[in-house]
């Protein structure tokens, strides 16, 4: 076991700009504040995010710098929606290229906890848990909190 001075001092939260991202961020921030840990926001982009050639401007894959700027704008917008002007202290943001599950697993190598949403932007509707949350819970070397957004829940509760 690591000595207290060597213990990870951060919680990693993965967001994708989906409707649940605001709630995921708020949940992660509450846990980080309670544990007196820093909060690191990770968002990923890849060429797989573009499924159809019609999504490419001019039929070509956009400049990676442009895509990364858009991803950064999406993250900053989500942070503003989650916290307004009261951004949590110790919050940092990283925009990474790659598959979200692989990037998050790499990022949490020395994190205290990972927080993700149950369902994101991609995949198949109706699955109880998305592929990224499923992979993270299967391969993480730290606790994983999977946040469910009741407003996004596709299950009939009647």
CB-based contacts of 139-143 (< 8 A; 24+ apart in sequence): 139/101, 139/105, 140/105, 140/108, 140/114, 141/108, 141/109, 142/8, 142/108, 142/111, 142/112, 142/113, 142/114, 143/112, 143/113, 143/114
pLDDT by 10s per residue, the chain, length 158: 444 445 589 999 999 888 889 999 999 999 999 999 999 999 998 765 544 445 555 555 556 677 788 888 899 999 999 999 999 999 999 999 999 999 999 999 999 999 999 875 555 556 678 889 999 999 999 999 999 877 755 544 44
Instruction: Go through the domains of the chain in sequence order and give each one's CATH number.
Output: 4-149 (3.40.50.620)
| Prediction pTM value | 0.81
How far from 125 is each of 128, 138, 152, CA to CA, in Å? Answer: 9, 21, 10
């Amino acid at each position: 076991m690591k000595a207290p001075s060597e213990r990870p001092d951060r919680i990693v939260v993965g967001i994708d700009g989906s409707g649940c991202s605001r709630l995921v961020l708020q949940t992660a921030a509450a846990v980080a504040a309670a544990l007196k840990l820093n909060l690191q926001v990770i968002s990923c982009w890849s060429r797989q995010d573009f499924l159809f050639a019609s999504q490419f401007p001019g039929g070509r894959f956009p400049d990676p710098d442009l895509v990364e700027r858009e991803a950064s704008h999406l993250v900053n917008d989500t942070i503003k929606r989650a916290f307004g002007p009261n951004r949590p202290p110790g919050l940092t943001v990283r925009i990474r290229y790659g598959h979200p599950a692989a990037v998050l697993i790499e990022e949490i190598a020395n994190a205290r906890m990972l927080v993700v949403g149950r369902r994101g932007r991609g995949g198949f509707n109706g699955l109880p848990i998305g592929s990224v949350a499923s992979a993270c819970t299967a391969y993480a070397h730290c606790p994983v909190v999977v946040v469910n957004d009741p407003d996004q829940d596709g299950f009939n509760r009647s």
